C-alpha cells in the first residue's frame, strides 16, 4: 500500500488515493460505484473494472454495487452489494456478502459472515 499523502490546495486538505491502480487526488473522499461507473466527489473517473474496487487510502463514505476492499479507514458508512474488507468504519457497514474489518462504530448488516479484529 502506498502511503496516503495529505496536501493543501487553496486551504482545502487533499488526499491521494489509489483506486484499481489509478492515482487520484480528492478533497472529500465520497465514492460511489454503480452501473460500471466510479464517481468520486461527484466526478466520474475511469479506472477499469468498476465491479470489484480496491482503494488505498482513507475515505469518507463508499457505496458500491460490487465488492470493495479498502486499505485504510472509512470515516462514515460503507455499503456494498458484494463483500467488504477494510480498516475501521466510523459509521455503518452494510454488505450483501461478508464483512472483514477492524472496529465498526455503527450497525453491521451482512448477507454472509462478519469478521472483526478489534484494536
1 CB neighbour count, 10 Å cutoff: 9
Higher-pLDDT residue of 2, 108? 108
Q: What value, to the nearest 5°, has the Cα angle with vertex 63 and ends 91 and 73?
A: 45
Average pLDDT, the chain: 83
Domain with 83 in it: 6-116
Q: What is d(CA 106, CA 26) in angstroms, rounded to the nearest whole number?
A: 25
* In-domain check, residue 80: yes
| pTM of the shown model | 0.81
- How many domains does the structure of the chain reveal? 1
* In-domain check, residue 1: no
Residue 5 has pLDDT above 60, yes or no: no
* In-domain check, residue 86: yes
The per-residue pLDDT for range 66-79, each reduced to its tens digit, is 899 998 999 999 99
Higher-pLDDT residue of 12, 84? 84
The per-residue pLDDT for range 27-65, each reduced to its tens digit, is 768 888 887 788 888 888 877 766 678 888 889 999 998
* In-domain check, residue 72: yes
* In-domain check, residue 96: yes
* In-domain check, residue 42: yes
* In-domain check, residue 52: yes
Amino acid at each position: 500500500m502506498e502511503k496516503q499523502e495529505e496536501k493543501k490546495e487553496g486551504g482545502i486538505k487533499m488526499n491521494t488515493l489509489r483506486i484499481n491502480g489509478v492515482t487520484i487526488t480528492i478533497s472529500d473522499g465520497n465514492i460511489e460505484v454503480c452501473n460500471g461507473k466510479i464517481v468520486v466527489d461527484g466526478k466520474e473517473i475511469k479506472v477499469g473494472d468498476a465491479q470489484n474496487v480496491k482503494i488505498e487510502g482513507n475515505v469518507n463514505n463508499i457505496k458500491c454495487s460490487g465488492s470493495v476492499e479498502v486499505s485504510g479507514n472509512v470515516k462514515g458508512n460503507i455499503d456494498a452489494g458484494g463483500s467488504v474488507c477494510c480498516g475501521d468504519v466510523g459509521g455503518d457497514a452494510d454488505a450483501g456478502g461478508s464483512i472483514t474489518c477492524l472496529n465498526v462504530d455503527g450497525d453491521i448488516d451482512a448477507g454472509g459472515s462478519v469478521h472483526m479484529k478489534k484494536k
